Structure 1
Amino acid sequence: MTAVLGGCGSTGSSDVTLELVAADYGDSAASSSKKYWDDLAEGYESRHPGVKVHVDVYSWNDVDRKVKEMVAAGHAPDLAQIGAYADYAAAGKLYPASDLLSIRTQADFLSSLADAGQWQHVQYGIPFAASTRVLFYNKTLFGEAGITPPTNWSELAADAGALKAKGVKYPYALPLGPEEAQAETLQWLLSGGNGYTDDVGTYTIDSPQNVKTFTWLKDELVGKGLTGPVAPGRLNRADAFAAFADGQVGMLNGHPTLMQQAARKGVKFGMVPLPGRTGRARASMGVTDWMMGFRQNGHAEQIGDFLDYAYQEKNVLAFSREYGLLPVTDSASNTMAESGAARDKELRPFLDQLPTSQQYPVGKTSWAAVSAAVKKDIGQAVAPTGSPAGVLTRLQSAASAADSANSG
């Protein structure tokens, strides 16, 4: 336990500069996360005159690579807010969360997210921001087709057929292209009753349920021309979102930022839980981005004190509201759930799913390699000449090999 519990006390040191590398959640210079971090650092420094916080913000295209290069060069930052932590934990480069955070801060995290931050049963990844996925549908197109939102796969296929009959370009957009295929894949695996791993963390990519799921996708959606003119393996998530915002998509899985994107274009949309094979999916997909503290510079006390400040409810809410993301703490989540503000009400369908959502297997050091393999190959499973069982078996073999090699 750190010596500092209040978040506003003296760190007992002076003239320390904490180096923080963070991801940019904005979509322009005006909305860059740099402003949030600069304001947060200024607020912290005003209470802690002996500590400075220097923040560098990079796009998501660059931030993970940038931190990896810094660590490899022997110049690890004190703090990194990026997409994955397990490799650094396995290499012994991170502080356990319990060495940094006050008991109050640790206890405030949503338990499912804190658990997802564990490597070998010790928490190293500190949740920073989260999102879940729901099924978006175009209300105008649904009205013209005389259909209602689906609650199971057969209804989804029937709705897609009705949309196609009305000339909708993408009745159901299925982005299995390399940008974010691992996300669309997990959503469908969950809706089919399984996932990437079993309850003890063993990869189950080629399970009978998963093979059935992709066989259904291939035969009942893709094979019947219900996924649009671009082959799913070549359709990226960003392009699918853009097409939805242009009114060309009847349905697709989406996260909170799609609300803003569609609203800017005047698209009237609704949101429902992702349908499962015979009813609501057993779990929604959740994605968490991570904060972590590096050991190299020995600033555990200052790192922990700054994080206790950063995770105060007002700061967590400010970031979540600015970028349409879900808070990772119980206190902020409860405040958002009870809020009457329109911006908070919009996030409620996503917020309701977060406590029971299923994350990527981020605690496995093999996950980065497995995710890359899924991005590269999963689109072939639904191609006209593709074999769902064959593709999933190859991915399972690659996952098992990566798992053995990493022993993670």
Structure 2
Amino acid sequence: MVSALGMTAVLGGCGVTGDSGGVTLRLVAADYGDSKANSSQKYWDELAKAFEAEHPDVHVDVTVHSWNDVDREVREMVEAGRAPDLAQIGAYADYAADDLLYEADDVLSIQSQADFVSQLALAGQVNGVQYGLPFASSTRVLFYNKALFEKAGLTPPKSWDDLAEAAEALKEEGVKYPYALPLGPEEAPAETLQWLLSGGGGYTDTVGTYDIDSPRNTGTLTWLKDELVGKGLTGPVAPGELNRADAFAAFADGDVGMLNGHPTLMKAAAAKGVEFGMVPTPGIDGGSRVTLGVADWMMAFRKSGHQKEIGDFLNFVYSDDNVLDFSRRYDLLPVTTSAWEVMSTAEEDKDLQPFLKELVLSELYPVGKTSWASVSADIKKRIGQAVSSGGDPRSVLREIQATAVRAQSSE
């Protein structure tokens, strides 16, 4: 998720007691908007005002930063000894490992905590204890260009073989990117995991141990290398140099036959008049049984000691009306089961329903591991080499696995 609006306000002390004797909660949040008009600042200001009307002794001071800045801003605040009461950012594990966060049990009602979509709640746990509160989520489906498919006489693929055959036909029709494979550094871990899951593998095994160089993962990347990249079916830019944003832009320009995409691609493609379809990610022998899920996180810092006020605010944040409002404003998936049930049947959310169906079958990055940051960085650095001409998927995956083992040993 990328934001276009950044704010650089400098915050003072956090969690202070106001002049009136009330409590001021400081929240630092990420911006999901793409302009000042739909900045997340507007959402949070409205929500804070509504909360304060019900809790007159609590003031909520929200500062929103772009995704380029928000994680760094929070890290610098924490390092300076002035952690915010709440942060809504991209990762929580390091702060949990440093014992800086409230547990979910400390700040959420039983009802609120139990309402999280189970996969998201599990991804927020470290050693069985939930510290990361999912705030926004997304999944991936396969987008295809309807006009290009119709011209080539194709139907949407259901399996890897179908996808390869469709890509061959699109190439014969002169399509620039029959299948866009963005393994560039912007979001290589996502595209990679989507493919590994569709081949029956993933980054970890069933007990959460890194299993990056498994035979299934090696087989998946070998198939990509031999059947798509090696046959010139992934376009003129090497996968390791193609970033997601560029792949999405090419799809919106009508130059891509197929690619994995998340909900924001719908608006970009529609704005340029591209008619597209969406189907579940093809798997090795049919529809993929598991898809990629992505979440951003809310966390509550213990430094201020305002546990009750933080809890009251968070239970308000995760009420159905507020979860639905945020999800609908930014074309994101809800993180609570009750909101998921509403959006899964509501006519106004029909465009998101293919993604909603995938959410309950999703698997997320191992974000509860502090080692994940190092592993993710290594995937961004190396994974494109695995599918390049002359590349060796097995040796690349072994190198990434070695990075994972080293990083995990220091957790």
TM-score, structure 1 normalization: 0.95
**Partner deviation per Cα, 1:70-128 (whole Å, 9 max, x = no partner):** 11111100000011111111110000000001111112111221111101110000011
Residue 314 (1) aligns with residue 338 (2): no
The share of aligned pairs that are identical, in percent, is 68
**Partner deviation per Cα, 1:237-264 (whole Å, 9 max, x = no partner):** 0000000000000000000010011011
Which segments of structure 1 move beyond 3 Å, counting only runs of 4 or more? none
Aligned match for 1:145, one of 146, 149, 152: 152
**1:289 alignment counterpart:** 296
Q: Distance in 2 between matches of 1:112 and 1:300?
A: 26
What's the CA shift for 1:28? 1.5
Q: Distance in 1 between matches of 2:356 and 2:265?
A: 15
The equivalences for 1:71-220 within 5 A come to 71-220=78-227
**2:376 alignment counterpart:** 371
What's the CA shift for 1:340? 1.9
Residue 250 (1) aligns with residue 257 (2): yes
**1:231 alignment counterpart:** 238
What's the CA shift for 1:375? 0.8
Residue 279 (1) aligns with residue 275 (2): no
Aligned match for 1:390, one of 386, 390, 395: 395
Q: Distance in 2 between matches of 1:386 and 1:32?
A: 43
Which sections of structure 1, spanning at least 5 residues, go unmatched?
Answer: 1-12
**Partner deviation per Cα, 1:189-214 (whole Å, 9 max, x = no partner):** 00110100001111111000001100
Which sections of structure 2, spanning at least 5 residues, go unmatched?
Answer: 1-19
Q: Distance in 2 between matches of 1:338 and 1:237?
A: 30
**1:354 alignment counterpart:** 359
**2:4 alignment counterpart:** none
Q: Distance in 1 between matches of 2:49 and 2:395?
A: 55
- Which letter maps to 2:403? A
What's the CA shift for 1:338? 2.0
**Partner deviation per Cα, 1:127-151 (whole Å, 9 max, x = no partner):** 1111100000000000000011111
Judge conservation of contact 2:139–2:359 (CA < 8 Å) in 1. yes
Residue 23 (1) aligns with residue 30 (2): yes
**1:8 alignment counterpart:** none
**1:33 alignment counterpart:** 40
**1:5 alignment counterpart:** none
Q: Distance in 1 between matches of 2:220 and 2:69?
A: 34
- Which letter maps to 1:69? E
**Partner deviation per Cα, 1:275-331 (whole Å, 9 max, x = no partner):** 011111120100011100000111111111001111110100000000000011111
TM-score, structure 2 normalization: 0.94
**Partner deviation per Cα, 1:135-183 (whole Å, 9 max, x = no partner):** 0000000000001111101110000000000000000000000000000
What's the CA shift for 1:62? 1.1
Q: Distance in 2 between matches of 1:147 and 1:14?
A: 68
- Which letter maps to 2:315? D
**Partner deviation per Cα, 1:24-56 (whole Å, 9 max, x = no partner):** 111112221110001000111111111111111
What's the CA shift for 1:265? 0.6
SS of the residue aligned with 1:19?
A: strand
Judge conservation of contact 2:221–2:387 (CA < 8 Å) in 1. yes
Q: Distance in 2 between matches of 1:314 and 1:193?
A: 37
What's the CA shift for 1:333? 0.8
- Which letter maps to 1:384? S
Q: Distance in 2 between matches of 1:369 and 1:299?
A: 33
**Partner deviation per Cα, 1:340-384 (whole Å, 9 max, x = no partner):** 22xx00000000111120000011110011111101111111111
Q: How many residues matched?
A: 392
Q: Distance in 1 between matches of 2:275 and 2:319?
A: 35
Judge conservation of contact 2:289–2:361 (CA < 8 Å) in 1. no
What's the CA shift for 1:60? 1.0
Judge conservation of contact 1:14–1:51 (CA < 8 Å) in 2. no
What's the CA shift for 1:14? 4.5
Q: Distance in 1 between matches of 2:195 and 2:177?
A: 18
Judge conservation of contact 2:159–2:283 (CA < 8 Å) in 1. yes
SS of the residue aligned with 2:148?
A: helix
